[in-house]
Amino acid sequence: MQATSSQVRKAVITVVVLSVLGVLLVAAVGLYRSQQTPPQPLPFNHQVHVQKVGLSCLYCHSNANKGQSAGMPTTQRCIACHQQIEPTTEGERILRQYAENEESIPWVPVAIMPDFVYFSHQVHVNANISCEQCHGEVGQSTIAPSLTKKQNMGWCLACHQNQPQERVARLTSCEACHK
């Protein structure tokens, strides 16, 4: 049996529609996943530690005023407290496990600059810019910080342009951030 031209046209349209839907689906899944918080080795709760326990950001991210990266706390830093706290949650049990195995906890970084960008926490923290100004109210959050598209070149430049006039030229020159 020979297909009529209208049957052929229908088949072609169906294939085109299905492939367009396929592409859209792949794009939607990609977008969804890029906005998801990456899974962490255990659910860490900033609010409990910052607001209830009263720890400062630098207690755990202790390189933030000394070097380029803020740094993540060692297992030892966590367990110093938690060896005295009976674990009642799954997260605390996982923490104990890492400590007993003397392993460091493989936290997954979310805010990462591309290699061709130079950023240093030290200069900013020592210029009295608060962590919250750049990262938001992390200390009030009960879930892991998520990916944000906010920290792009325009964002850096907007703040650098607002600095005292005599510093603006240096802070907005390409070489400041692209060495």
Which residues within the stretch 81-110 sit at the binding site for ligand HEC (CB under 6 A)? 81-82, 85, 88-89, 91-92, 95, 107, 109-110
Residue in 66, 97, 111, 122 binding ligand HEC, rule: CB under 6 A = 111
| CA gap 138, 146 in Å, rounded | 10
Size of the site for ligand HEC (CB under 6 A): 73
Kindly state whether residue 66 participates in binding ligand HEC, applying the rule CB under 6 A.
Answer: no
| CA gap 19, 7 in Å, rounded | 18
Kindly state whether residue 23 participates in binding ligand HEC, applying the rule CB under 6 A.
Answer: no
Residues 160, 168: contact at Cβ < 8 Å? yes
| CA gap 157, 76 in Å, rounded | 38
Maximum CA extent, the chain: 83
Residue in 104, 146, 148, 152 binding ligand HEC, rule: CB under 6 A = 152
Residue in 48, 76, 104, 146 binding ligand HEC, rule: CB under 6 A = 48
Residues 110, 57: contact at Cβ < 8 Å? no
| CA gap 169, 31 in Å, rounded | 37
**For ligand HEC, the closer CB: 1 or 127:** 127
In sequence order, the 6+-apart residues with CB closer than 8 A to the CB of 20 are none
Q: By CB under 6 A, which span of 2-10, 13-21, 28-36, 63-71 interacts with ligand HEC?
A: 63-71
Kindly state whether residue 168 participates in binding ligand HEC, applying the rule CB under 6 A.
Answer: no
Rounded to the nearest whole angstrom, what is the least distance from the CB of residue 30 to ligand HEC in the complex?
A: 18
In sequence order, the 6+-apart residues with CB closer than 8 A to the CB of 178 are 116, 117, 118
Kindly state whether residue 55 participates in binding ligand HEC, applying the rule CB under 6 A.
Answer: yes
Residue in 103, 145, 146, 161 binding ligand HEC, rule: CB under 6 A = 145
